[in-house]
Structures are given as structure tokens and as C-alpha cells.
A and B are shown apart, each in its own frame.
Chain A
Amino acid sequence: MSYNVNEKGFYGKFGGAYIPEMLFPNVEELRQNYLQIMQEPEFQEELQGLLRDYVGRPTPLYFAKRLSEKYNTKIYLKREDLNHTGAHKINNTVGQVLLAKRLGKTRIIAETGAGQHGVATATVCALMGLECIVYMGAIDIERQAPNVARMKMLGAKVVAATSGSKTLKDATNEAIRDWISNPLDTYYIIGSVVGPHPYPDMVARFQAIISEEIKWQLQEKEGRQNPDYVVACVGGGSNAAGAFYHYLDVPEVKLVAVEAAGLGIDSGESAATSVLGKIGVIHGSRTLLMQTEDGQVTEPYSISAGLDYPGVGPLHAHLYDSKRAIFESVTDDEALQAVLELTRLEGIIPALESAHALAAIHRIGAKPDDIVVLNLSGRGDKDLTTYLNRFDLNGK
């Protein structure tokens, strides 16, 4: 079984490039060039330099002692929350913006859910002196206000997506429409392992630095490269793809993907695509998709803006279908409880997205000697208003 994309852009039966003809020249240009550009020594030198000196990599692999005691297993946190801008998203935006420059593009567009990808895109655009437009669902603009402020501060234009569920799916629609209307000067930095081929593969490669580091860091700390479990949350699936990447072909490493169950799988208010979805086409990719019998996309729900998406990257659909990864889902309430727990046990306030991964630890069946690496994809600064309200800390 292969977990790499084939030359037609598929992972098993998932993937491809289901795009209107208007996007074909741009996507084709990218497909023909991305691997070659990414392999150029000067590109790698510039990328690695920025990841080290600007993003702050490598991020620590931290042994969470008190959390480990609580769950009676050995838990390491991969601290993607300590990256510049506060999440894993910048690993990808640094890479793609360098690519965009090499393709001669001057105008950058992006979609964002939680705002972390928007901030990471606005950041690299400021760094490179490029125009930046970020599409964000109107509901997400409200619930992730600090990130909207950061994007504006960085000089990006934030455009509200007001159609459909007014969340990540709709922001992505608007970004794609922008690209259709601006085919010559514009590059679309997609924020997850979604979209038409080659995006899922390209984003996974830029995020693969996460598992590359885990390997040598774990070797230093434990004398072995392979943990027993890698656990990550999945919205589109980029932080999970990065944390899984170098373990995909190592069957003894169990991969756990955690989706957002929202108010509960059967509540009608959920974003657990692997459970609720069936094969379909969204945003240029054939993948698992939450939809009605008639093939209309269902509006998802999660308290976490970054996981509030009705699809999942084609790699993850394949990992689910082939049973290479174990899929779990976690409700809003369970995630919130995990936020408080990590904060009080380890002094780390996680993002709502990452908290979904934390909340699944007790379900994976890890034994006392097992090593669990949990990808802490981001920090919780953007979610403080939600936390203060939900934990009733406002008055205290």
C-alpha cells in the first residue's frame, strides 16, 4: 500500500484536480514546477534559513510529565504552538510564498478558518513585500477576532465570506473565485492538505518538517525514532499530515487522526467527516465529504473554526479508507475540558483545534511504557474570549 500521491494526483481513489478550466493553467503550472523548485539547493537554503531564524525551528519535543502521569503513559508534545505566529501553519506559508515568488507572482490570496493560516500568510507577505488578501467566513471573523486584528496590522486585506455557513468552506469558495478572476499575477496559498493536486502533496511536504524533527528528537530523548502513537487533530489535515509524514510507511507507529464532533456525531451539528461523509468532490479534490443524498454539501459545525470543515484532505480519506490511521472524534465540551487540563497541568494554553487531539489521548489505549507524540498544532491566544466565557472566568 502506498501513501504517496501517484502521478495523476491520487491517493488510492482520493485526490485529483476537479477544477473549472479557468484554473487549469495556474494549477498545471504549479503541478509542473513544484517538485523541481522545492528540490533546488537555493530554494532549500532559503527555506531552511527562514524556518530556523524566522519561524524558530526546530520546535521543542517536550516530555509532558504531569500529563503523562495523569494518563499513565509517556506523552511528548510537539510544540508547534511555539512557532512564530503561534501554529504550524507558517511552515507551509513560508514554503509557498517562496514558490510564488519563483513563479513571478505578486499578489497573494488565502482562505482562513481559525485565522492562523491567514495570519501566517499575512506575515510572510509582509516579510516579502507582497500584496495579501485573506478570505474569512463572517462567523469566523467574529469568533477569532484577535487574528483578524493581527492580519490587518500586518497589512493584509481581510474579506468576509458571507455565503453558505459563513465559515472555512465558504472562505475557500471565495478565494477560488478570486483566483479565477485574477489568473495572471495571483498565487493562491492554500492552508491545508486540501484543494486540487498538487496542493495536498505540496502542503504535506512543507509540513513534513514536523515528523522529520520528531524522529531525531525522539532518538535523542528515548534512543528510538519511532513512537508507538502519533496523535493530531484534523480539519483539512495539514498538521496531521506533517506529523504523520515520515511514519506513513512505518506500520508499527499507530497514527491517530482526531476530528471535531461538534455537539455530537448524531446531533446534526458536527464536523466529523470520516464518520458522516461519503466520497464526493469539494474544492477540486475527490475525497470524503459531508453531503446530502442529492450531493449538496452539508454545513458543518464545530466550536473550533479550524476544524469546522465538511471535507478532509485526500491523503486522510485514503488513510481512513485503508485503515492506516485510526480516526477519533471529540465534542466541543471534551475539547474545552482538555484545554483546561493542559493549561493547569503543564502551563500551556492550547488552541481549540489542538485540544481536540488532547481530548482523544485517553481513548487510544496507550500502555504505561508506550510513547505517544501529540502534535500541539497551535496556542490558544486566539481562543481566549471563548475560554473566558465557557470557563466562567470573566468575573474571577
Chain B
Amino acid sequence: MENRLQRLFVEKQQGLLSVYFTAGFPNLNDTVPIILELERNGVEMIEVGMPFSDPLADGPTIQHSSELALRNGMTIPKLFEQLKGIREQTQIPLVLMGYLNPVMQYGVERFCQKCQEIGIDGIILPDLPLAEYVEEYKEIFEANCLSKVFLVTPQTPEQRIREIDSHSNAFVYMVSSASTTGGTNNKGVENTEYFQRVKAMGLKNPAIIGFGIHNNETFAQACNHASGAIIGSAFIKALEKEGSLTENIQSFIQSIRNQP
């Protein structure tokens, strides 16, 4: 059976805007209001971050939102409680993103079943090795209609990109440059050689570019090279501005969609 993520890519292959935020930030119960507001503003897909105490692949912004979210009391059971019933309110594709340890403690199978019950479509766990996923968890994910999304980077060898593509069934997450989230190198989407190289490989999955996309210009550049882009740190910063959630989300999404 197709999930919402897979259906999205059948319907639309260009200019997809995906937004990441950390569940439980800025306030514990903002999760559902943020999802609904993002959908109202025309975002095509949402990644909900499950905060972790030691987020190795994240830059300062998401480290900070994770720390606050944990302090606010966010946990996986709490997140599931908040998301229960979300499918009566929206059909936007939802991806959960986090680190392996909290999911492992919850129980991978139990986690996947719960995701299916709620209507989650995809999972990103950057520190779950591809080989272990294939050997131990792939069947469980597929049985629960969950797409496991993997990252590739400018340094990922071609053969491994093909392997990742073959085990993916939604999209390939192209990390824009060697960096943690937020784009510490300020290189944004400069590495055209890499984007073109991956494009020329003719992968079966569409690619979405993330890390360091922060304004309409970098979003437009990313869309030139791939089916769309993911914005995380820049959105989290926007949530911290003065003003209501609604205002902040509206003006941020508008600023991204405007032609540069």
C-alpha cells in the first residue's frame, strides 16, 4: 500500500517545500498547531523532530531546540499522544526524524506499529546503519507502510548511493554540503558538481536537498537541482521571533516561496 509520502511524489516532482521542526519547541504542546499552520501555508511535507540529548548530526540551532524541548518534557510517548487523531485534521505527509537510542528504548517494532496507527509516513534515523536496517528492520518498516529515508552526502561513493536508492521507497535526502544541520560551512547549495553527478545517476527515487537551506534564494537553487528542499534550522529560528506562531510561520513560508 502506498503511503502519503509516496503519493506526494507521484503527484508532484518539483518545488516541494518540506519543513523540519523539533517537537516540543518552543512549547510542549505546539506540535499539532505547527503542523496545521504549515499545511495551511502550503508546505508539502513535514518532518517532526524527536529531540535527543546528544544530537551528533545537528548544529547549534537544533541542539538548542532539542534541549528546550526535552526540558519542556517532550518524549516519544508524549509525541504519540499529541499526534493521535492528527489524520482527522490533515493528510499532509509526516516524517519522524530522530536518533536511534530513544527509538531503541521504546522498541523499534512497537515504535513502527504506533507510527502506522497514527498515520506517520516516513522515518529518518541518521545513526541507524543501512546494513542493520536491511537485515533487522526493513520488513518491520515495510509491514507498517513506513518509508525509511536515508541521507547521502557529497562524499558518499556512487556505489553506496545506488545501494541506498535501492533500499529507499520515498526519497533520497541529499545533504547539501559536509556539515551538521544549519550548514556550518555556509556553503548552501554551491556544490553543483555533486548535485549534477547524483542527478545523472538516474536514481529510482526523487532527491530532496537539505542542510543549510535558509531563504528563498537557497530554496530556489535547491529546487533547480532536485525535487525540493528541506528547511530546518532557519524555520526554528523563525519560531523564536516575537509574534504568534501563526504570524511567524506565515511570514517565514511566504519569504521562502517568493521568487528571489
* Interface of A toward B, CB cutoff 8 Å: 16-22, 24-26, 163-164, 169, 173, 176-177, 180-184, 280-284, 289, 291, 293-297
Contacts and interface: CB of A to CB of B under 8 A. Distances in A.
B105 A293 contact: yes
Given A20-B56, A181-B185, 7 more contacts: A20-B57, A164-B54, A177-B57, A181-B178, A281-B127, A284-B127, A295-B76
16 contacts: A18-B127, A21-B150, A21-B152, A22-B57, A177-B56, A180-B179, A181-B178, A184-B155, A280-B101, A280-B105, A291-B105, A293-B105, A294-B102, A295-B104, A296-B53, A297-B101
Nearest to A296: B53
Nearest to A289: B101
Among B56, B103, B180, the one with the most A-chain Cβ atoms within 10 Å of its Cβ is B56
B256 interface: no
Among A25, A26, A177, A295, the one with the most B-chain Cβ atoms within 10 Å of its Cβ is A295
A291 B151 CA distance: 27
Nearest to B57: A20
A21 B156 contact: yes
Contacts, number: 100
B155 A18 contact: no
B100 A22 contact: no
A158 B106 CA distance: 38
A25 B99 CA distance: 20
Interface string B180-199: 10001100000000000000
A180 B101 contact: no
A256 B49 CA distance: 42
A232 to B, nearest CB: 27
B143 interface: no
B246 interface: no
A297 B160 contact: no
Nearest to A280: B101
A295 B101 contact: yes
B175 to A, nearest CB: 6
A383 B171 CA distance: 53
A20 B54 contact: no
B132 interface: yes
A290 B26 CA distance: 27
Contact of B52 (A17, A18, A177, A296): A296
Contacts of B160: 24
Given A22-B153, A163-B63, A180-B180, A16 B132 contact: yes
A283 B57 CA distance: 11
A17 B127 CA distance: 8
Interface string B73-112: 0011100000000000000000000011111111000000
A295 B56 contact: no
A198 B185 CA distance: 28
B153 A21 contact: yes
Main SS at interface, chain B: loop
B179 A295 contact: no
Q: Which 8 A-B pairs have the closest CB atoms?
A: A295-B105, A295-B102, A20-B126, A21-B151, A296-B53, A20-B57, A25-B155, A294-B75
Contact of B129 (A16, A25, A291): A16
Contacts of B121: none
A202 B155 CA distance: 24
Contacts of B185: 181
Contacts of B67: 163
A280 B77 CA distance: 18
A19 B100 CA distance: 10
Contacts of A26: 155
Given A164-B54, A183-B178, A22 B155 contact: yes
B56 A183 contact: no
A10 B59 CA distance: 30
Nearest to B98: A295
Contacts of A183: 153, 155, 178
Contact of B101 (A163, A177, A281): A281
Interface string B127-147: 111001000000000000000
B157 interface: yes
A22 B178 contact: yes
Contacts of B153: 21-22, 25, 183
Contacts of A22: 57, 151, 153, 155, 175, 178
Among B59, B75, B105, the one with the most A-chain Cβ atoms within 10 Å of its Cβ is B105
Contact of A180 (B57, B99, B106): B57
A291 B56 CA distance: 16
A181 B76 CA distance: 29
B8 interface: no
B238 interface: no
B181 to A, nearest CB: 10
A70 to B, nearest CB: 42
A281 B150 CA distance: 19
B43 interface: no
A16 B127 CA distance: 11
A282 B179 contact: no
B118 interface: no
Among A18, A26, A164, A289, the one with the most B-chain Cβ atoms within 10 Å of its Cβ is A18
Contacts of A19: 127, 129
Contacts of B36: none
B203 interface: no
B32 interface: no
Contact of B178 (A164, A182, A295, A296): A182
